[in-house]
Amino acid sequence: MQSPIWNIRNPQNAPIYCSPVHLFFLEWALMLGTFWLRISYSSFPDFSVALFLFSIATLSFLFGYVTLRWLHGTNQCSPCGLGKSYRVKLKGLRRLHLGGVALILTIMVMNLRLYGLPPIFGALGSIDTPDYQEYGSLRQPMFAAILIVFISAPLEPAVWRRWALYLFSPICFLIYGSRGYLLIMLFQALAVFSLRTKKSKTFIYGAAASTLISAIFLSDLIGNSRNSLGVEALLGFLQIRSRYYDWPAAYLWVISYISTPFSNMCWIVRVFPYEHPTFQFLYSALPGFLSPVSPAQITDLGSEKIIDGVHTYMAKYYMDFWYFGIVAINYVWGLIAAAMTAGDRLTRNYLLSSVLLGCMAFMFFSDFLTILIIMMEMFAAWCIQRYLTITVPTHPEFALVPSKAEITQEMQIG
C-alpha cells in the first residue's frame, strides 16, 4: 500500500496559532490578561513589572526576528528547491510506530514491576500509589516516544491504525497522570493537522475550539484526580481569592495555571538574590540520572509568595544570567520564529514546526525548549521528515523532465 500524495499547504493560509510571531504575542496577551485578574492572594501587586518584562521580551524577540529575516533576505538563503507535494515511506513509518509502541509498553511494564500500580489507579480508587512526579523510571525516552507516535499518527493512511495510535498516546499520559505533556501533545497534534489539512480555515478553527474544550476537560479531570480534595486542593494550594470560589473549576485551573507562573516570575525579578552567572538552564537537557538538582529547588527564591515550581519560560535564564538571560531567550525565540517563517519551512517541516509551536504555546508555564523529552521529540520529528518523506512533483508533466544525472549518463552511453 502506498501513502497518498499530500500537498504542502501555503504558510500564509495557516491559522493564527500556527504563526510563531502571532503565537508569541497571544501568549503574552494571555499572561498579562490572567495576571491582571489577580486570581490568587499571592499574586504580584505591581502591574508595571509585568509591563516591563513584556517590553524587554518583545524588543528582544523582534530584534532576533528582524536579524535573521534581514540575513535571509540579504544572502538570499531561500529553502532548497523542493517540490510542493510529498509522500511518506509507509514501511519506515510503521516500523517507527511499532518500535515506539514497543518501547513505551516495555518501560511501562518495567515500571509496573518496580514501582507497582501507576498513579491512575490511585485516582480511581483507594489504592495507595506513588505521586505522578515520583512514579517510574526512564520517563524521558518513554514520554518522547508517546509524543512522536501521536503527532506522526496522521501520516498513517490506514484508518484503524491511525485511530489506534490516536487513542494509545493519551491513554498512556492519563495512566501516568501527566497533564502537562498531554496538553502539549494535543496542541502539537492540532498544529500538525492545521499545517497539513486541505480544509478551510473555518473548519480548522472549529477543530481548534474542540481541541481546546477537550484539553480543558482533561486538565480539570487530571487536576481533580491528583488529590483527594479535588477542587479544594486547587483553592488552597494556589491561594485562590474567595470571590472566585463560585467560578467553574475548569476556568480556575486554566486561569491560575497561566497567571501563577507569571506572578512567580514577577516576584523572582523583584526579590531573587542574584549573585553570579550559572548554567542551570542546561540541567533539564541531561538524562535524569545525570541531572543535578537545580539551585532554584534547594534555595530560597526570596519570597513565600512564590507558590509553585513553575515560573514561565524566562525564569531559569534570569536566575542564570540576570536580565541578560531574559534578553537572550527571547532573542533566540525571535531567531526561531524567523527561521520557521522563511520560505515554506513552516508547512514543509510541519512535524518539527509543531514541536516548536508546542514549546511556544506553553511559554506561560515553563521553558520546554531545553527539556530532554522535547529535544528527543524534535530530533525524531526531523528524522521522520528527512528520511521518511519523499518529495514528488506537483504536476505529472514535471516527472518527464530528466535529471542532470540522467542526461550525463545518456551522453556517456552515446
Residues 109-123 have pLDDT tens digits of 999 999 988 888 876
CA 282 to each of CA 18, 371, 375, 408: distance values in angstroms, whole numbers, following the listed order: 27, 8, 12, 50
**pLDDT per residue as tens digits for the range 57-75:** 999 999 999 998 888 765 4
Domain-located, residue 407: no
The answer on pLDDT for 411 being more than 80 is no
Domain-located, residue 403: no
Q: What is the pLDDT of residue 397?
A: 38
pLDDT tier for residue 82 given thresholds of 50, 70 and 90 = very low
Spatial contact of 365 and 310, defined as CB atoms under 8 Å apart: yes
Greater pLDDT, 121 or 141: 141
Domain-located, residue 91: yes
Q: What is the pLDDT of residue 224?
A: 61
Signed CA dihedral, 341, 347, 348, 350: sign only = positive
Domain hosting residue 171, numbered range: 6-73+85-392
- Measured from the Cβ of residue 287, the count of other Cβ atoms closer than 10 Å reads 10
Greater pLDDT, 1 or 61: 61
Domain-located, residue 412: no
- Measured from the Cβ of residue 265, the count of other Cβ atoms closer than 10 Å reads 27
The answer on pLDDT for 403 being more than 50 is no
Rounded Cα distance, 315 and 294, in Å? 12
Question: Which residue, chain included where needed, has cell 529553502?
Answer: 79
Q: What is the pLDDT of residue 107?
A: 96
Q: How many domains are contained in the chain?
A: 1
Domain-located, residue 171: yes
Q: What is the pLDDT of residue 222?
A: 67
Domain-located, residue 402: no
CA 382 to each of CA 183, 353, 376: distance values in angstroms, whole numbers, following the listed order: 21, 10, 10
Question: Which residue, chain included where needed, has cell 478553527?
Answer: 205
Domain-located, residue 405: no
- Running DSSP on this structure, what letter comes out for residue 395? S
Mean pLDDT of 28-53: 94
Spatial contact of 387 and 151, defined as CB atoms under 8 Å apart: no
- Running DSSP on this structure, what letter comes out for residue 308? S
Cβ neighbours of residue 248 under 8 Å, at least 6 residues apart? none
Q: What is the pLDDT of residue 412?
A: 46
Cβ neighbours of residue 232 under 8 Å, at least 6 residues apart? none
Is 88 in a helix, a strand, or coil?
Answer: strand
Q: What is the pLDDT of residue 34?
A: 94
* Pairs from 278-285 (Cβ < 8 Å, separation ≥ 24): 278/319, 278/320, 279/320, 280/316, 280/319, 280/320, 281/316, 281/317, 281/320, 281/325, 281/367, 281/370, 282/370, 284/367, 284/370, 284/371, 284/372, 285/370, 285/371, 285/372, 285/375
Spatial contact of 150 and 167, defined as CB atoms under 8 Å apart: no
Helix%, strand%, coil% for the chain, nearest 5: 65, 5, 30
Q: What is the pLDDT of residue 247?
A: 85
Rounded Cα distance, 398 and 157, in Å? 25
The answer on pLDDT for 267 being more than 60 is yes
The answer on pLDDT for 321 being more than 80 is yes
Spatial contact of 153 and 145, defined as CB atoms under 8 Å apart: no
Mean pLDDT of 382-400: 70
**pLDDT per residue as tens digits for the range 334-353:** 999 999 988 788 888 999 99
Rounded Cα distance, 339 and 68, in Å? 7
CA neighbours closer than 13 Å in the CB half-sphere of residue 88: 24
Domain-located, residue 400: no
Q: Which stretch of DSSP H or E encloses residue 321?
A: helix 315-321
pTM of the model: 0.87
The answer on pLDDT for 408 being more than 50 is no
Q: Which amino acid is at 291?
A: S
pLDDT tier for residue 231 given thresholds of 50, 70 and 90 = low
Supply the mean pLDDT for the chain: 84
Mean pLDDT of 135-161: 93
Backbone angles phi, psi at 132, to 5 degrees: -60, -25
